[in-house]
C-alpha cells in the first residue's frame, strides 16, 4: 500500500463489461477494483483481463462456499487469473479452508504466478446480531462469532478476513498485525448507509485496524464520483 488511495477498493457493481470499463475509465485514479458475483457471472474473466491490462489491482469477491473438493477446484482456476485478493466463506469449515489455501498456492506456483491472497468472509455486513440469533439460530454474540471464524481461517493458513468495521479492532488485536483485514460497509458521515447495518466512517475503520476499505455507493452514486473519491482520500490522509 503505497498511498492512501491504494487502501480504497471500489466495487464494479454493474452488469456488463462495457459498463465496468466505463467506470474504470471515468475514475483512473482508482487503483483497486472489486469484481463481484454479478459482474463476473456476466462477463467471466474478460473483466479481469481488462483490469490487468490497465495495471489495476483486483479484489475478486466470489465468496466460495462449498465442500472442500469443490472449493479447491475453484481456487485452482482462480489462481490462473492473476488477481490480488479472493474471498471464500469461513463457514465452509476448516477442511475447505485448508484445501482452498493448498490448491491456490500449488496452482499459482505451477503457472509461475504469485498466488492470490485468500480472505475469509466472517459475518456479512448486512446481518445484525438479531438476524444472526433469530434467523440463523447462531447462539453466540455476533462479534464473538466473527472472531471465531477469523481465527478458524487464520489457523488454516488463510491470509486475512473480511469483516464489519465494528469487529475490526478486536480481530486486529487477536489475529495480529500481519493478518489482512478488509472492511466493506464503510460509510462516510456525509453518505447514506443503505443496506449496511454495521458500519463506521473510513477514518474510524482504518484507525481500528483495517488494511483495506471497500466503498461503493458513496462514490459511484455521488453527483461527482471523482470528487467523492478524493474527499474520502483526504479524510484518510489525516489518520494514515
Instruction: Record the cell numbers describing residue 50, joined without a space.
Output: 481488462
Catalytic residues: 63
Distance in angstroms (rounded) separating the CA atoms of residues 164 and 141: 14
Q: With helix as H, strand as E and coil as C, how does the chain read?
A: CCCHHHHEEEECCCCCHHHHHHHHHHCCCCCEEEECHHHHHHHCCHHHHHHHHCCCEEEEEEEECCCHHHHHHHHHHHHHHCCCEEEEEHHHCHHHHHHHHHHHHHHHHHCCCCCCEEEEECCCCCCCHHHHHHCCCCCCCHHHHHHHHHHHHHHCCCCEEECCCCCHHHHHHHHCCCCEEEECCCCCCCCCCCCCCCCCCHHHHHHHCCCEEECCHHHHCCCCHHHHHHHHHHHHHCCC
168-175 vs 142-155: helix crossing angle, rounded to 10: 40
Alpha-carbon distance 142 to 189, whole Å? 24
Amino acid at each position: 500500500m503505497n498511498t492512501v488511495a491504494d487502501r480504497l477498493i471500489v466495487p464494479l457493481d454493474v452488469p456488463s463489461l462495457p459498463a465496468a470499463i466505463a467506470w474504470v475509465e471515468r475514475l483512473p485514479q482508482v487503483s483497486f477494483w472489486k469484481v463481484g458475483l454479478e459482474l463476473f457471472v456476466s462477463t467471466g474473466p474478460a473483466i479481469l483481463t481488462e483490469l490487468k491490462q490497465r495495471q489495476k489491482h483486483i479484489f475478486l469477491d466470489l465468496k466460495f462456499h462449498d465442500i472442500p473438493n469443490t472449493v479447491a477446484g475453484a481456487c485452482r482456476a482462480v489462481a490462473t487469473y492473476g488477481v490480488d485478493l479472493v474471498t471464500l466463506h469461513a463457514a465452509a469449515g476448516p477442511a475447505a479452508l485448508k484445501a482452498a489455501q493448498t490448491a491456490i498456492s500449488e496452482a499459482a506456483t505451477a503457472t509461475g504466478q504469485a498466488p492470490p491472497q485468500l480472505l475469509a468472509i466472517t459475518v456479512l455486513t448486512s446481518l445484525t446480531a438479531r438476524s444472526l440469533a433469530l434467523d440463523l439460530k447462531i447462539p453466540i454474540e455476533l462479534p464473538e462469532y466473527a472472531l471465531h471464524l477469523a481465527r478458524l481461517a487464520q489457523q488454516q493458513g488463510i491470509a486475512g478476513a473480511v469483516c464489519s468495521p465494528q469487529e475490526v479492532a478486536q480481530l486486529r488485536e487477536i489475529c495480529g498485525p500481519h493478518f489482512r483485514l478488509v472492511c466493506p460497509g464503510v460509510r462516510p458521515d456525509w453518505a447514506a448507509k443503505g443496506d449496511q447495518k454495521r458500519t463506521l466512517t473510513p477514518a474510524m475503520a482504518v484507525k481500528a485496524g483495517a488494511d483495506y476499505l471497500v466503498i461503493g455507493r458513496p462514490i459511484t452514486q455521488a453527483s461527482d464520483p471523482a470528487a467523492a473519491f478524493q474527499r474520502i482520500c483526504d479524510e484518510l490522509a489525516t489518520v494514515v
